[in-house]
DNA sequence: GCGGCGAGTTCCGCTGAGCGGAACGGCGTT
DNA sequence: AACGCCGTTCCGCTCAGCGGAACTCGCCGC
């Protein structure tokens, strides 16, 4: 992050960006003016004008029957343009599928940008009770196996800086004590993978391991996740399969061990 | 489109959206302040403030060494949130791969939103001279096989409305005469697929056919494309393979013929 | 049918947020 | 060293955008 003075910004533009970000955080695909107004603390008139402006440029669609708003095609264009800059998702697809088949659980792929990470792909097993994750939603780096797998492989300076900030609890089991977290990160590095039982999402368990590229950077994290009740018994069998999958994808990305 | 009076918008927000859209249209992954300023006809100070505002909310990244800007993770979150609303891409993946293997050419998947369509997936063959397309870039509905395949299957009223508007030429071979285009659309519907030789992109040729869902709506278009020189000789053999692929995906999406 | 309610939409007076021109600082080239 | 170009910052000026409130419409209960 920049240490200089903060550059001049435009409040109206920031508020519009807040509106767009709200759509990635909401549970439903559509939102109404009042809902966004309450959520963001803006007047209905402002929200309405922002939505109308973004709609004029393709970022927002309006269903004129229900009078509710959803993301528009320019949003997709933006995301796919961003994805063009990375090809990890394509390379990982077959690895994820094999991993899901071998474990009979959900396999996910995450990437990190700054101090957040997000799921960018998943393969779910052909069974009724299973986990599915929300693609694109940003998560902090301390909560959940995939997040901690990234955090454990950042530089010591970056870890220090991250742990000096607020550690938000996503659920009852999220580790928010920096001392405990450091111990966990040490275990993760020694063991090769991170584990989480309800830290990011109650009822959900997962193990996750990093994927490296030709520069030995951690460019992605692969996880296997499922409902807590049955996952505890499966971890021992899943871990070596996960580690082999991450090695396979790492080799694909030019990692040489 | 709404026929009522245009709602109040915010100019600053529209200008910010123009900046974001510019990143989906540029050839490179990064852009500088002056380049965007020239492109959009805004002062450098305005562009800088817009970029700073969008950066504050995660939509833009700044490389502090090169002092150039690129899309940030919130852009990806937006696109993937949008993608969550559709699952065509997942369903089509194996169909695209088989199609590319059988034809030894690039297979693409497009979706349409309003009067634009975009590539949302592609599978390229294992050969050196091949076509690749840019995911996420919006194209008008009259230029190129994938676009025309959508246009040919819109309602007559929608086609009338579209053809009454300006038909921008993307290249020398783009059809911009509404009368000629109507004839072509009729052929497309009769033949079952659209063909293009350099209409969207010079040197590129493709054929494309629609994919239908359980409501018989055209929800996607699949194309096979390659360099013009060799494609002319291959069209006859590729067409039935393409049509079978679209029928297969359509059945997957609940189409019953 | 009527009235109330809640949602999205529109209007308009007011003022400070945002604009643009220009200066500044840094870097690369000659 | 001078120059050009880029991104960044500053500041005077004014109108773009804000918020409060009225409006419209659809739904629901009586």
SS (H, E, C) A60-84: EEEECCCCEEEECHHHHHHHHHHHH
The reply to whether B73 falls in a domain is: yes
- Mean pLDDT, chain B, as a whole number? 86
Looking at the structure, tell me whether residues B30 and B136 fall in a common domain: no
C-alpha count within 13 angstroms, C-beta hemisphere, residue A109? 24
Q: What are phi and psi of A37, to 5 degrees?
A: -60, -50
Residues 55-114 of B with CB under 8 A from A: 56-59, 61-62, 64, 70-85, 93, 113-114
Q: Which of A78, A98, A131 is the last residue of a domain?
A: A78
Looking at the structure, tell me whether residues B173 and B49 fall in a common domain: no
**Digit-coded pLDDT (tens) for B105-149:** 999 999 887 788 888 888 888 776 778 888 778 889 998 999 999
Looking at the structure, tell me whether residues B122 and B203 fall in a common domain: yes
**Digit-coded pLDDT (tens) for A56-101:** 999 998 888 788 898 988 898 888 788 766 667 777 888 998 999 8
Looking at the structure, tell me whether residues B90 and B69 fall in a common domain: no
The reply to whether A158 falls in a domain is: yes
pLDDT at residue A215 greater than cutoff 70: no
Per-residue confidence at B13, pLDDT binned at 50, 70, 90?
A: very high
Hey, what long-range contacts does A9-12 have (CB within 8 A, 24 or more apart)? A9/B49, A9/B52, A9/B53, A9/B56, A10/B12, A10/B16, A10/B49, A10/B50, A10/B53, A11/B53, A12/A50, A12/B10, A12/B12, A12/B13
Selected residue of B81, B141, B150 to mutate for chain A interface (largest A Cβ count, 10 A): B81
Confirm whether any atom of chain D, the nucleic acid strand, is less than 7 Å from CB of B45: yes
Q: Count of CB atoms within 10 A of residue A29's CB?
A: 14
Q: Which of B23, B50, B79 is the last residue of a domain?
A: B79
Q: In the predicted model, what is the mean pLDDT of residues A10-16?
A: 95
Looking at the structure, tell me whether residues A147 and A228 fall in a common domain: yes
The reply to whether B90 falls in a domain is: yes
The reply to whether A4 falls in a domain is: no
The percentage of residues in chain A with a pLDDT greater than 90, rounded to a whole number, is 44
**Domain CATH code at residue A43:** 1.10.10.10
3-state secondary structure of B131: coil
Looking at the structure, tell me whether residues A138 and A182 fall in a common domain: yes
Residues of chain B found within 8 Å of residue A2, distances taken between Cβ atoms = 62, 64
Gap between the Cα atoms of A52 and A43, Å rounded: 14
Q: Which domain holds residue A93?
A: 86-252
Looking at the structure, tell me whether residues B166 and B182 fall in a common domain: yes
How many distinct structural domains can be found in chain A? 2
Looking at the structure, tell me whether residues A116 and A235 fall in a common domain: yes
């Amino acid at each position: 992050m920049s240490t200089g003075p903060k550059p001049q910004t435009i409040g109206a533009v920031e508020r519009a960006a807040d509106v767009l970000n709200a759509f990635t955080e909401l549970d439903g695909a559509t939102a109404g003016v009042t809902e966004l107004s309450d959520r963001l603390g803006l007047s209905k008139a402002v929200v309405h004008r922002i939505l109308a402006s973004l709609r004029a440029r393709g970022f927002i669609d309006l269903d004129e029957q229900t009078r509710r708003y959803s993301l528009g095609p320019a949003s997709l264009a933006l995301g796919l343009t961003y994805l063009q800059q990375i090809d990890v998702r394509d390379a990982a697809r077959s690895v994820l599928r094999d991993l899901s088949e071998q474990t009979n659980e959900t396999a996910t792929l995450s990437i990190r940008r700054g101090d957040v990470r997000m799921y960018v792909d998943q393969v779910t097993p052909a069974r009724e009770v299973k986990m599915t994750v929300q693609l694109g939603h940003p998560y902090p780096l301390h909560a959940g196996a995939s997040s901690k797998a990234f955090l454990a492989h950042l530089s010591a300076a970056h870890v220090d800086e991250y742990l000096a900030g607020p550690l938000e609890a996503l659920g009852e089991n999220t580790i928010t004590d920096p001392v405990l977290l450091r111990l966990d990160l040490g275990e993760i590095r020694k063991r090769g993978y991170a584990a989480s039982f309800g830290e990011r999402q109650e009822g959900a368990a997962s193990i996750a391991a990093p994927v490296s590229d030709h520069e030995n950077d951690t460019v992605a994290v692969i996880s296997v996740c499922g409902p807590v009740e049955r996952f505890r018994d499966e971890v021992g069998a899943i871990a070596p399969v996960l580690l082999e999958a991450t090695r396979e994808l790492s080799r694909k990305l030019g990692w040489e061990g």
